[in-house]
Chain A
Amino acid sequence: GAGVSQTPSNKVTEKGKYVELRCDPISGHTALYWYRQSLGQGPEFLIYFQGTGAADDSGLPNDRFFAVRPEGSVSTLKIQRTERGDSAVYLCASSLTWASGGFDTQYFGPGTRLTVL
């Protein structure tokens, strides 16, 4: 595709439920990033992948959050036992590589707005 796509665009769930958020990066981009953006705040780094492996997951807030990228392309962010505080826009971005000192431009998707009732 032409850009990064994320599905669903909106997700409403009840407290305690499990959710999966999907990201399709730009074809050929090896690096993929997940961020969380709360209302009125800048994005907050969660995790990034180089290929299939999680290169850095230091931003994941706790063990309820998990992300995978099994074939080095599409990634899924999984949240278990959702809490109201998880409500936010979850942004995905991809870049050509990660090894250039962080200088590769990240291209962001439109985000998934998660609401936990």
Chain B
Amino acid sequence: KNQVEQSPQSLIILEGKNCTLQCNYTVSPFSNLRWYKQDTGRGPVSLTIMTFSENTKSNGRYTATLDADTKQSSLHITASQLSDSASYICVVSAKTGGSYIPTFGRGTSLIVHP
């Protein structure tokens, strides 16, 4: 069964600090991995997408890494801001028949304090 595990479940940091969120997956056959940001009461918004051959991708203060051999990804947030408080969800898509079905992790809840 395809699974995506994220850690930590929740994280509290001070504004201006950096943090790293982890994602481990057992999804096959791998197509791509995305990180989403989900604000409370909103739908998820895509931050980055990575394919098998990519090992790092940046989007502003967000940097995602991918190790396809160990099936691990991380999302690093630099110089955190209060607006970074949200749930961060790792999503891995697999090609199943003719479809590309995403498997979502539970998310890491990040709280940034002033």
Is the CB–CB distance between B95 and A42 below 8 Å? no
Is the CB–CB distance between A105 and B49 below 8 Å? yes
- Taken together as a complex, chains A and B put the C-alpha atoms of A41 and B44 apart, in Å, by 13
Is the CB–CB distance between B43 and A102 below 8 Å? no
Is the CB–CB distance between A102 and B102 below 8 Å? yes
Is the CB–CB distance between A45 and B102 below 8 Å? yes
Most chain A CB within 10 A, of B99, B106, B107, is at B99
Please indicate the chain A residues that have their CB under 8 angstroms from the CB of B99 in the complex. Answer: 48, 55-56, 58, 98
Number of interface residues of B (CB under 8 A): 27
- Taken together as a complex, chains A and B put the C-alpha atoms of A80 and B12 apart, in Å, by 41
Please indicate the chain B residues that have their CB under 8 angstroms from the CB of A109 in the complex. Answer: 43
Please indicate the chain A residues that have their CB under 8 angstroms from the CB of B105 in the complex. Answer: 42
Identify 10 residue pairs between A and B in the complex whose beta-carbon atoms are under 8 Å apart, listed by A's number. Answer: A42-B4, A42-B106, A45-B102, A55-B98, A56-B97, A101-B100, A102-B31, A102-B95, A103-B51, A105-B49
Binding site for B on A (CB under 8 A): 4, 35, 40-45, 48, 55-56, 58-59, 91, 93, 98, 101-103, 105-111
